[in-house]
């Protein structure tokens, strides 16, 4: 939920504004247990490795050396929760590559992840698949995830409910908040 994906960005996610209130409600309900993962683009296309070089050659204006630095940050509505919320930076879609997130979750005794954010078919998907690989209980907040592709978003939601139904649960924001109040 960064400025990189908000309105006016070349990577704009059309549903961003629609799901932001739900993400905000989730964070507000338990900021101290919230973890944001922040995507940090490559410095420039030439320093990006492998196919990332081609990716950033397509969007050179989104590299760290050219993008408005404020766009890399979480949107202000969410950034104000850090701290107590924590933030982990990543240079790939997956937050699991560095090992820092898994280590922090393990040290905190966390075994359940409630996942929201963007994009359903990219960063959210890799977050969920990595969490499943690590054995976490995963709950996807269906009305608090978004994508720039409606078809891909719908396909991934179907994938969660049909193919990963033993490892991924789904719920809406209201259900999560109600369960949080009960516990």
Written as one string, the DSSP assignment of 133-145 is HHT-EEEEEEEEE
Which residues constitute the domain of residue 170? 3-182
pLDDT higher than 70, residue 71: yes
List the CATH number of the domain containing 74: 3.40.50.850
CA-only gyration radius of the chain, Å: 16
Peptide bond preceding 83: is omega within 30 degrees of 0, i.e. cis? yes
Which residues, 6+ apart, have CB-to-CB distance to 161 below 8 Å? 168, 170
Tens digit of each residue's pLDDT (9 = 90 or more) over 111-152: 999 999 999 999 999 999 999 999 999 999 999 999 999 999
The total domain count for the chain is 1
User: What is the CA 100 to chain-centroid distance, rounded?
Assistant: 16
pTM, rounded to two decimals? 0.92
């Amino acid at each position: 939920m960064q400025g990189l994906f908000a309105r006016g960005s070349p990577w704009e996610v059309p549903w961003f504004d629609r799901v932001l209130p739900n993400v905000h409600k989730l964070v507000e309900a338990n900021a101290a247990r919230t973890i944001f993962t922040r995507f940090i683009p490559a410095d420039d296309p030439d320093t990006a490795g492998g196919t990332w070089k081609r990716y950033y050659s397509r969007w050179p204006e989104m590299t760290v050396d050219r993008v408005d630095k404020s766009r890399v940050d979480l949107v202000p509505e969410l950034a104000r929760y850090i701290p107590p919320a924590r933030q982990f930076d990543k240079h790939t879609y997956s937050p699991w590559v560095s090992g820092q997130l898994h280590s922090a979750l393990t040290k905190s005794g966390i075994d359940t992840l409630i996942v929201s954010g963007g994009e359903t078919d990219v960063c959210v998907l890799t977050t969920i698949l990595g969490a499943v690989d690590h054995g976490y209980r995963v709950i996807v907040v269906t009305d608090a995830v978004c994508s720039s592709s409606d078809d891909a978003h719908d396909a991934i939601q179907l994938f969660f409910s049909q193919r990963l139904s033993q490892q991924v649960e789904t719920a809406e924001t209201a259900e999560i908040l109600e369960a949080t109040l009960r516990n």
